[in-house]
């Protein structure tokens, strides 16, 4: 038996499937409706199925309906996670030739078989449901062809009543890796295959309720609603017994009707902060159907997005279904863990990138309170690669007038719009919109429909938007790719409600919002969370707050994508022999593949805190950034006063402050006694909620009360002593009591320091400008390397030694150089070695202005490993304890912290710069005390920057013989340039003149 060629015919999307309809599960009684598995009418067919795998569907045996099976595979799952085929990660490029609607002959094929027992009732109908199969499926029951379907991330339902038999039944499903629908499923993810969501059988009456649509309109005061129910039956329509219960369980409405329209008063509104849900109960024949309803209204007025009458901001993320072990298969428990982590980190919105999640996922979002953009299963990004070389990421949003760049950009856009304008794929694009809307139309949390992702724009999407607006005018419609226009098409944007961009800069937000527009600005993807990232989260937050027309955005993305390798480590593109691949571009999440929060998520959490404090002219004011909740009903404020790093007093309180308003908080402020005073404010939830415990920390603020006061550090001690100085052509040796110093006159740096005949450094000090490139440095990395930054070294030109009774002074004229390059930095150095062993180093540097900004500038120490242990950790005052940078320190507080090299290291899957600490006043470890005349950064690591630069995976790293301590005048910021705007000037080490004095005390 040969498979029909449906999978290469865009006119044949489904054969014998039932129409798309709302998701619901019928039950036998109200008591069983808490879980679908409790329904007597629901038979779950998950479990171990028989399985055979073939490299090509041409190898499928003629007798595949009766053949023996060699393997077992769990359903649901992806076959790549069970030893078949290989994992493949590609972002934009299709994993097969671009030849629509055709896919390769070498098209892998999986055959599934499951025997199950049934006792069908002749007065019933039986519906077989597949909630997710990638990419298409042929269904056979008891050796008879049932039907065909393609749409990976939505439900395919078949009426199998006529095929079902008493006793044992044999269900066979043939799944192909690719079909013509794969051209519309080019999402940025590992490409996996198989039956990856639940399979089940539903028993329904002969005449049954097939579909219903709950509609309502709120009045202008949001206090009452006109509630309507529209129904669709198989067979003759019959009246339903209808009940509506309020969130507290009180009966609101009871009647019999087929369709109805009733006014509901004293409405309790649903929002993400307080997700109030009503319960609609429908009874028909012997079925009970329960649907939760939340009353809410999303609308755009005068270019501003309103929800329940309030202008709100999305603090959102893009979320894929992804797990290192189960792939696309996500359980309730896994999804709930994601939602709890999001709540814990102040996320209020999710874009289902870039396809519908399992049908119960949005039920969880209804229940726990998240705003959803429900996105259709459409992405055709690879079409943009047809006739031009891979463009730079900025090409889509460049604002330059260079004619050649403009030509390439437009050619890329015209390719990008291929499927958006191809009549052959109009049916498929519409079908995917209809599947998305019809399945989830009764979900409260979905307030916006999205037509898909990165597929260009044209007639097909215009038709899709028009259909959605006619079918569901209560929701708004989004589609970012509408900003791209084909040369031969004039875009019709009349059915779209947002102006949407990806990775636009804060300047882009300002530019759009500086004059009133008809549509609000939304960043459907921003602040790309790849590796050590999200350095611009605070700047984006500030830009969102500056403009009422900006309604926030959705961080890309929630989790890293990485299946396990045989060694138990995470793998990324190329680790599985997959080509083409996009390397570690899949490692771009706020959490690790196994859901360990990165520092990126901690930064985002505090940037999105619901309360912020300001202190001006002696007045402390709190602003409530909640949209619907008074602070007194939600937040307890904890405060403490900190003098020179030591807490002196504190307390807690609550404050009345209405949503989106501010109020003065009166606290007993310490008098200005010339000391360094900090006020720490910590905000906790004052009651338990569904996903958050009582006392959960929501965020914090830290206020420097008297900015003119300096932190108290060790003073410089000057006293008379005797120095033994021995100078040669190459070195200067200095002895003073217990100390011995050896200075390298060729490099202008100390090569050896010892105390009591014990070496304090194991290799010569050196000046460093290189950092292991972060993922956000991937575009500037080559520029840095071309400038020689990764091979830079220091040399001295002139050295002068002057000895007094208090100090030995060494002045040096030197430079930072690289082979085949000019001077990077010209340095004037003045070392002073004092009687008590303290060294002061005054640095004046001049950076070559024609060179790119520096990654960093500072000193590198090679410390004996035994000096730093859990028993003797390094102590510092600075932003901690998480890693922190000039643009990424809102996750951290100024304070006194302790760390070791291993605990300070952040183990990114792809090694890169990590573990730095910004804003430091001092550090000390085992007798070494370092401070400066201005705040500095430092990094303590088991690894050199060179080691972190060259290794592709964290498990390949080899520790250095010494502990590496870098003390930096400045470290350039982190940003999000892996897929976003360039690092802002204010966060670059871009100044041409550098000046700082470091104090090193080995006593």
Residue 716 has pLDDT above 80, yes or no: no
Q: Which among 535, 679, 557, 659 is positioned nearest to 607, based on CA atoms?
A: 535
- Domain annotation covers residue 480: yes
| Model confidence pLDDT, tens digit, residues 883-896 | 999 999 999 999 99
CATH code of the domain in which 245 resides: 2.60.40.10
Within a domain: residue 280? yes
Between β-strands 635-643 and 646-653, what pairing exists: parallel, antiparallel or unpaired? antiparallel
Q: Are residues 487 and 616 in the same domain?
A: no
- Is the pLDDT assigned to residue 897 strictly greater than 70? yes
Per-residue pLDDT at 396 exceeds 60: no
151 within some domain: yes
Please say which residue of 606, 624, 653 terminates a domain.
Answer: 606
**Residue 710 within any structural domain of the chain:** no
What was the pLDDT predicted at 719? Answer: 80
The three-class DSSP label of residue 337 is: helix
Same domain, 348 and 450: yes
User: Do both 436 and 452 map to the same domain?
Assistant: yes
What tens digit of pLDDT does each residue of 148-204 get?
999 999 999 999 999 999 999 999 999 999 999 999 999 999 999 999 999 999 999
Half-sphere exposure of 21 (CA within 13 A, CB side): 17
d(CA 478, CA 524): 9
Are 826 and 729 in a shared domain?
Answer: yes
Q: Is the sign of the CA dihedral 803, 806, 812, 817 positive or negative?
A: positive
Residue 28 lies in a domain: yes
pLDDT digits (tens, 9 = 90+) for 808-820: 999 999 999 999 9
How many CA atoms lie less than 13 Å away from 697 in the CB half-sphere? 11
Identify the domain containing residue 662 by its residue range: 610-704
Domain final position from 186, 205, 224: 205
Does residue 906 register a pLDDT over 60? yes
Q: DSSP characters for 697-714? A: EEEEEEEES-TTSPPP-P
**Whether residue 373 is found in the same domain as residue 484:** yes
φ, ψ of residue 752 in degrees (nearest 5) = -155, 140
- Count of domains in the chain? 5
Pair (184, 149) in one structural domain: yes
For a pLDDT cut of 70, what percent of the chain falls above it?
A: 98
Averaged confidence pLDDT in the chain: 96
Where does a domain end: 228, 253, 284? 284
644 and 508 both lie in a single domain: no
Residue 393 has pLDDT above 60, yes or no: no
Q: What is the average pLDDT across 908-924? A: 98
pTM: 0.97
Same domain, 156 and 195: yes
pLDDT number for residue 255: 96
Q: Say if 503 falls within a structural domain.
A: yes
Half-sphere exposure for 49 (CA within 13 Å, toward CB) = 29
Query: What positions carry a catalytic annotation?
Result: 454, 525
Beta-strand relationship, 251-257 and 240-245: antiparallel
Q: pLDDT band at 401, cuts 50/70/90?
A: low
Domain shared by 981 and 929, yes or no: yes
Q: What is the CATH number of the domain that holds 875?
A: 2.70.98.10
478-532 pLDDT, tens digit per residue, is 999 999 999 999 999 999 999 999 999 999 999 999 999 999 999 999 999 999 9
Q: Are residues 814 and 919 both part of a single domain?
A: yes
Please report, for residues 160, 449, 887, the alpha-carbon distance to residue 156 in angstroms, rounded to integers and kept in the order given. Answer: 12, 20, 47
| Same-domain pairing of 681 and 733 | no
Domain containing residue 312: CATH number? 3.20.20.80
Radius of gyration of the chain (CA): 32
Q: Is residue 709 part of a domain?
A: no
- The reply to whether 318 and 412 lie within a common domain is yes
Domain annotation covers residue 717: no
pLDDT the model gives residue 836 = 87
Q: What is the pLDDT at residue 400?
A: 57
* CATH for 42: 2.60.120.260
Cα–Cα dist 296/298, whole Å = 7
């Amino acid at each position: 038996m040969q498979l029909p060629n449906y999978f290469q015919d865009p006119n044949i999307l489904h054969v014998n499937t039932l129409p798309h309809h709302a998701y619901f599960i019928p039950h036998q009684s109200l008591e069983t409706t808490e879980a679908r598995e409790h329904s007597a009418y629901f038979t779950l067919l998950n479990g171990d199925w028989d399985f055979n795998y073939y490299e090509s569907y041409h190898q499928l045996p003629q007798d595949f309906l009766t053949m023996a099976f060699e393997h077992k595979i769990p359903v649901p799952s992806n076959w790549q996670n069970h030893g078949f085929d290989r994992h493949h990660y590609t972002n934009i490029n299709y994993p097969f030739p671009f030849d629509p609607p055709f896919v390769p002959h070498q098209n892998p094929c999986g055959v599934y078989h499951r025997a199950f027992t049934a006792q069908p009732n002749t007065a019933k109908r039986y519906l077989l449901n597949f909630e997710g199969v990638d990419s298409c499926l042929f269904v056979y029951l008891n050796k008879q062809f049932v039907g065909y379907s393609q749409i990976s991330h939505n439900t395919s339902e078949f009426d199998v009543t006529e095929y079902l038999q008493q006793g044992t039944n044999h269900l066979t499903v043939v799944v192909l890796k690719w079909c013509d629908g794969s051209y519309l499923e080019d999402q940025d993810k590992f490409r996996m295959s198989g039956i990856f969501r639940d399979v089940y059988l539903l028993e329904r009456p002969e005449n049954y309720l097939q579909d219903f649509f709950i509609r309502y309109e709120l009045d202008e005061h949001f206090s009452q609603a006109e509630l309507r129910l529209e129904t669709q039956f198989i067979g003759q329509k019959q009246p339903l017994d209808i009940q509506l219960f309020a969130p507290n369980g009180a009966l609101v409405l009871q009647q019999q009707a087929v369709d109805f329209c009733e006014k509901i008063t004293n409405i309790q509104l649903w929002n993400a902060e307080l997700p109030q849900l009503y319960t609609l109960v429908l009874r028909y024949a012997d079925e009970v159907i329960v649907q939760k309803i939340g009353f809410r209204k999303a609308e755009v007025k005068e270019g501003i997005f309103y929800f329940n009458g309030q202008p709100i901001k999305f603090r959102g993320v893009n979320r894929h279904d992804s797990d290192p072990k189960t792939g696309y298969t996500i359980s309730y428990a896994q999804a709930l863990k994601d939602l709890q982590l999001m709540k814990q980190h102040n996320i209020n919105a999710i874009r289902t990138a870039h396809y519908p999640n399992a049908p119960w996922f949005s039920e969880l979002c209804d229940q726990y309170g998240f705003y959803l953009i429900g996105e259709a299963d459409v992405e055709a990004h690879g079409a943009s690669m047809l006739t031009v070389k891979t463009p730079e990421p900025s090409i889509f949003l460049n604002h330059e007038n260079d004619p050649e760049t403009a030509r390439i950009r437009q050619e890329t856009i015209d390719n990008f719009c291929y499927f958006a304008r191809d009549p052959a794929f109009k049916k498929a694009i519409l079908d995917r919109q209809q599947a998305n809307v019809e399945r989830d139309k009764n979900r409260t949390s979905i307030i916006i429909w999205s037509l898909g992702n990165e597929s260009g724009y044209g007639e097909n999407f215009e038709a899709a938007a028009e259909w959605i607006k006619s079918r569901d005018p209560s929701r708004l419609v989004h589609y970012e790719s509408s900003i791209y226009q084909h040369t031969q098409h004039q875009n019709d944007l009349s059915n779209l409600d947002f102006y949407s961009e990806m990775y636009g800069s804060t300047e882009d937000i300002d530019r759009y919002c500086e004059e009133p527009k008809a549509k609000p600005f939304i960043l459907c993807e921003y602040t790309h969370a790849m590796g050590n990232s999200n350095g611009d989260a605070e700047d984006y937050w500030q830009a969102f707050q500056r403009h009422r027309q900006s309604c926030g955005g959705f961080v890309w993305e929630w989790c890293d994508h990485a299946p396990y390798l045989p060694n138990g480590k995470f793998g990324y593109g190329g680790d599985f022999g997959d080509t083409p691949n996009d390397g570690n571009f899949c490692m771009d999440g706020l959490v690790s593949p196994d859901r360990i929060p990165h520092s990126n998520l901690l930064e985002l959490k505090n940037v999105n805190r619901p309360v912020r404090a300001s202190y001006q002219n002696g007045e402390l004011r709190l602003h409530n950034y909640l949209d619907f909740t008074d602070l007194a009903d939600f937040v307890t404020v904890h405060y403490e006063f900190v003098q020179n790093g030591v807490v002196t007093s504190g307390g807690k309180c609550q404050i009345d402050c209405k949503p989106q308003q501010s109020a003065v908080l009166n606290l007993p402020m310490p008098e200005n006694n010339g000391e360094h005073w900090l006020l720490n404010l910590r905000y906790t939830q004052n009651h338990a909620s569904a996903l958050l415990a009582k006392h959960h920390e929501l965020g914090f603020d830290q206020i420097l009360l008297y900015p003119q006061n300096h932190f108290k550090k060790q003073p410089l001690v000057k006293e008379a002593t005797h120095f033994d100085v021995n100078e040669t052509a190459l070195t200067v040796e200095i002895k003073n009591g217990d100390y011995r110093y050896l200075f390298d006159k060729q490099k202008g740096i100390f090569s050896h320091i010892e105390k009591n005949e014990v070496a304090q450094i194991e290799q010569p000090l050196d000046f460093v400008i290189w950092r292991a490139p972060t993922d956000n440095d991937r575009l500037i990395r080559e520029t840095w390397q071309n400038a020689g930054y990764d091979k830079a070294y220091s040399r001295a030109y002139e050295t002068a030694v002057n000895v007094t009774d208090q100090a030995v002074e060494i002045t040096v004229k030197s430079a930072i150089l690289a082979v085949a390059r000019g001077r990077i930095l010209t340095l004037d150095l003045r070392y002073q070695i004092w009687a008590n062993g303290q060294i002061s180093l005054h640095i004046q540097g001049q950076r070559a202005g024609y060179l790119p900004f520096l990654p960093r500038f500072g000193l590198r120490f090679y410390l004996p490993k035994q000096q730093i242990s859990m028993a003797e950790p390094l102590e510092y005052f600075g932003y901690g304890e998480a890693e922190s940078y000039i643009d990424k320190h809102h996750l951290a507080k100024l304070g006194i912290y302790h760390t070791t090299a291993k605990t300070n290291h952040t183990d990114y899957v792809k090694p890169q710069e990590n573990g730095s600490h910004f804003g430091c006043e001092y550090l000390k470890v085992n007798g070494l005390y370092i401070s400066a005349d201005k705040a500095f950064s430092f990094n303590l690591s088991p690894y050199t920057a060179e080691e972190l630069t060259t290794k592709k995976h964290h498990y390949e790293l080899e520790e250095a013989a010494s502990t590496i301590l870098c003390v930096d005048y400045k470290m350039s910021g982190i940003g999000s340039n892996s897929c976003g705007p360039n690092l802002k000037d204010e966060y670059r080490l871009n100044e041409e003149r550098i000046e700082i004095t470091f104090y090193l005390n080995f006593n």
